[in-house]
Structure 1
Amino acid sequence: MKIDQFIVHGAIDEKTRCEHYQTKKDIIAIKFFCCDAYFPCYLCHQKYGCGKGAVWPKKEFGKKAVLCGSCKNELTIQAYRDCRNTCPYCEAQFNSGCLLHHHLYFEKDT
């Protein structure tokens, strides 16, 4: 689905929700390191993307790779990790449960 100037593979609405996650707070898409393409979740990436499990390395956390489905601003990975589940641009609330999946997207802290 085209959302503003971004294509979000697997999105079913303009807020980046997908068939797997559809709550009011499920409004981010993540650019996958392996594909350099946006997907709403890891399940959509498996279904519609390359399906590889490459995660963003820490040295790349300054790159823009998270899209807020509410205001359509891109966040750097570090800004997203630091935001406490609130968009720093529009203050929309993100799903705190996404923290459970960070290891699927970003290199783990040691």
Structure 2
Amino acid sequence: MTSPERPRVLGPVVDDMTSCVHYQGATDIVAIRFACCGEYYPCHLCHEETAGHPAQQWATDQHDREAILCGACGHELTITEYFAATACPQCAALFNEGCELHREHYFQLGPG
């Protein structure tokens, strides 16, 4: 059961777990709050197709911000927590480890 305060997720979301038309695997259950607009989208392609503005990365000194939404339970993680997790710390739902390959779309990874 999700909380009534659960943030909205924009873009072509295909289920209640935040899967989208681009990524629909069983572990594709996170949405990312974009630094540019503060809105959650399932992926960088969803943002690119629907936001109407260019994406901006979270700076390395902002990795303490809550910017990851677990689609399974609605728990929000900081970027640092997400980088260290393979599953949601709240509900233990597994995250797609392959998402690590796309981090540069969302986050600055070096000194910023």
Instruction: Please give the TM-score of this superposition, normalised by the length of structure 1.
Output: 0.91
Q: CA deviation at 1:70?
A: 0.6
Identity fraction in percent: 41
Counterparts in 2 of 1:1-110, with a 5 A limit? 4=4, 5-10=6-11, 11-83=13-85, 85-109=86-110
Amino acid at match of 1:108: L
Q: Determine if contact 1:56/1:105 at 8 Å carries over to the other structure.
A: yes
> What stretches of structure 1 move > 6 A for 4+ residues in a row?
none
What secondary structure is seen at the aligned counterpart in 2 of 1:7? Answer: coil
How far apart, CA to CA, are the structure 2 residues paired with 1:97 and 1:32?
19
Deviations 1:13-67 (A, max 9, x none): 1000000000100000000001110000000000111341310001111110000
5+ residue gaps, structure 2: none
In terms of mean alpha carbon deviation, does 4-13 or 34-43 score higher? 4-13
Instruction: Please give the TM-score of this superposition, normalised by the length of structure 2.
Output: 0.89
Amino acid at match of 1:6: P
Deviations 1:65-88 (A, max 9, x none): 0000011100001100111x2111
